[in-house]
Amino acid sequence: METRATRTNHQFVREALRRGILTGHFLPGTRLVQADLAKELDVSTTPVREALRDLAADGLVRIDAYRGALVQSLSEEEIEEIYRLLKVLEPLSVERAVQLISPAELDEAEDILRRMVGTERGDSAEFVALDRQFHGHFAKAARSPRLRSILDSLRDNAAVYIAASFRDSATMVAHANEDHRALLEAMRNRDREAALDVENRHLEWAKSRWVETARAAAAAEVEETTAVSGLRRFAT
């Protein structure tokens, strides 16, 4: 297992910030102050600056000439565009997975779902990580690397909103897990129509949550200190 001792400070900071973004610790539009992040993670500002550049290249952070680095935010129009693409591509992936997924892969999906259910009254950050793994598992089962890569990219674009929509919300986590259970059952039954119905319903619901998050982020300035406090728990 890789530890901090085996990584450069640049890698260490990048992974801590990436995990913070992908698990909802950072809200869309949060300003990432280099000095504060360096102090929290006990490094100089140089690896922080390098890590922020990497995350900007990945689309998780944007660099503003006046405000510095901010967690990526999307307009409602951009969210709608991502949704439209997912609406076309996710069903293609689901259709293939229904036909091609193996019994062993179904059992693995069951294990991921079991762990997701275990987070309903606990850490929403853990749920977000497992949710990403669950959807990625079915995309892998579709046996189409190029399609999987495109879907991963689209979900990365929406990652901050996916994470923020579940932040500290046991009700939303439970709702999502109902859909996950239904999708898994449809996969086990090789029921194409049921799987597509669940996936389309889940996407529509998810989009509505992303839009709510975007509106909330646009309506309020995110406090800079919220990004730094507690970040150390992602620095493992």
The correct CATH number of 4-73+221-234 out of 1.10.10.10, 1.20.58.740, 3.40.640.10, 2.40.10.10 is 1.10.10.10
Would you give the DSSP letter of residue 143?
T
pLDDT tens-digit map of 68-95: 999 989 999 999 999 999 999 999 999 9
Domain boundaries, the chain: 4-73+221-234, 76-218
- Measured CA distances, 211 to 81, 129, 215, 230 (Å): 12, 21, 6, 26
What's the fold here for domain 76-218?
A: Four Helix Bundle (Hemerythrin (Met), subunit A) (1.20.120)
Query: What global pTM score does this model have?
Result: 0.82
Residues of the chain with pLDDT under 70: 1-6, 220-230, 235-236
Task: With beta carbons less than 8 A apart as the criterion, state whether 202 and 194 touch.
Answer: no
- Give the DSSP letter string of 61-113: EEEETTTEEEE----HHHHHHHHHHHHHHHHHHHHHHHHH--HHHHHHHHHHH
Task: With beta carbons less than 8 A apart as the criterion, state whether 56 and 65 touch.
Answer: no
